[in-house]
Chains A and B, each alone.
Chain A
Amino acid sequence: GDSVTQMEGPVTLSEEAFLTINCTYTATGYPSLFWYVQYPGEGLQLLLKATKADDKGSNKGFEATYRKETTSFHLEKGSVQVSDSAVYFCALSDQGGSYIPTFGRGTSLIVHP
């Protein structure tokens, strides 16, 4: 079956540091890939997505590139802010198959001033 593996947290950074959160996946079909973010006390919301190989999703300074050859979708940001402190979930959904998505376990990011 499909699976998503993302790095365990918490990831602790100082403001303006570079962020990478690793995400790798296994999929039987051709997936869409997502990053969702959950701010404290809230539900998840879509941060960015990519639907085909080599696509780059971007939003709010975050980027992730769909790498089919390495089955990865790593999240990056060049300069994090305190307000980026949240839990980040990598996920996939098979475009030709089940509409039930597969989520990673989430990575907590803590950014200090």
Chain B
Amino acid sequence: DVKVTQSSRYLVKRTGEKVFLECVQDMDHENMFWYRQDPGLGLRLIYFSYDVKMKEKGDIPEGYSVSREKKERFSLILESASTNQTSMYLCATSISTRGGDTQYFGPGTRLTVL
């Protein structure tokens, strides 16, 4: 079974802090994704990566950056957290850049910015 883990289930930060969310997968999946989930808005893609050191912007990249130094690890960075970044953050992986594949999700990190 694919296992996707996220560094924290719950996180509380203050406005202006730099926040790191980490995601680690234990399979050899090429693709990794970061989404945020908000009530009534569904899942929105922030950034994704198809290989080490490669990254692509999703639909809502503003205020975020990412890092993928190793294949199994994909980090989401909030350079200066703001209250409108309070949300549930979900990491996901898929096996290859061939379309049609299943996505595998981590348990999520619920971030509150005060």
Contacts and interface: CB of A to CB of B under 8 A. Distances in A.
Interface of A: 29, 31-32, 34, 36, 41-46, 49, 51, 89, 91, 93-101, 103-106
A42 B107 contact: yes
B99 A43 contact: no
B99 A93 contact: yes
B90 A49 contact: no
A34 to B, nearest CB: 7
Interface of B: 4, 31, 33, 40-43, 45, 48, 50, 58, 90, 92, 94, 96-108
Given A43-B90, A103-B43, A94 B102 contact: no
Given A44-B90, A105-B40, A99 B96 contact: yes
B37 to A, nearest CB: 8
B103 A43 contact: no
A44 B40 CA distance: 16
B107 A43 contact: yes
Q: Tell me if B's interface is mostly helix, strand, loop or mixed.
A: loop
A23 to B, nearest CB: 13
A106 B106 CA distance: 18
Contact of B108 (A34, A42, A49, A106): A42
A93 B100 contact: yes
A97 B101 CA distance: 11
B42 A96 contact: no
Given A43-B106, A45-B105, A94 B100 contact: yes
B42 A103 contact: yes
Nearest to B102: A46
Contacts of A99: 31, 50, 94, 96-101
A97 B98 CA distance: 7
A62 B96 CA distance: 27
Contacts of B104: 46
A106 B42 contact: yes
B100 A105 contact: no
